[in-house]
Structure 1
Amino acid sequence: MDTLEKARIRISHWISHNEHHIEEYELFAEQLEEAGKAAAAAQIRELARLEKASTECLRKALLDLEER
């Protein structure tokens, strides 16, 4: 298995992993909101937003690998 094939596998795994984390963060933020902790919920939502941005970087990297 060459480096590019390994990279595609690794990046695909990271995308899936991040998506799972995002779901957990959003659920946790809802729970915090319901518990009256709006400020903490907002921080977790920001974390989810940043995770989405990092996942988009991974998607772009994967597309770049597939184009070459």
Structure 2
Amino acid sequence: MNDLDKLRIMLPHWIEHNKGHGEEFFRWADTLAGAGEEEIAELLREAVKALHEAHHALEQALDKAGGPMEGQAGGHHHHHH
């Protein structure tokens, strides 16, 4: 397996992983905004925006690499945070 094939396996995982973190950051931003910590909430929202940009770049990289490897689409494992 060459490096490009390995990347085609890893990119879908990275895309899904970043999506999960973005959703978590957004929930925390709402929680902190509700607690009067708007400055922290806004920083978390900025992190969400950066993850959206990363998501777009990762999807483009996956597309240019040839898409997910056969049988790899939708593969995901959970991290405990």
Q: TM-score, normalised by structure 2?
A: 0.78
1:57 aligns with 2:48: no
Counterpart amino acid of 1:27? R
Name the structure 2 match of 1:26: 26
Name the structure 2 match of 1:39: 39
Q: How many residues align?
A: 67
Question: % of aligned pairs identical?
Answer: 34
User: What are the equivalent positions in structure 2 for 1:6-17 lying under 5 Å apart?
Assistant: 6-17=6-17
Q: What displacement does 1:5 show?
A: 1.6
Q: What displacement does 1:2 show?
A: 2.5
Of Structure 1 and Structure 2, the greater helix share is in 1
Structure 1 stretches of 5 or more lacking a match? none
Instruction: Extract structure 1 runs of 4+ deviating beyond 6 A.
Output: none
Distance in 2 of aligned mates of 1:52 and 1:43? 14
RMSD between superposed Cα atoms in Å: 1.1
Counterpart amino acid of 1:57? A
Q: Deviations over 1:26-49 (max 9, x none)?
A: 000000001011111000000000
SS across alignment from 2:36: coil
Q: TM-score, normalised by structure 1?
A: 0.92
Q: Deviations over 1:1-32 (max 9, x none)?
A: 23222101111110010000000000000000
SS across alignment from 1:36: coil
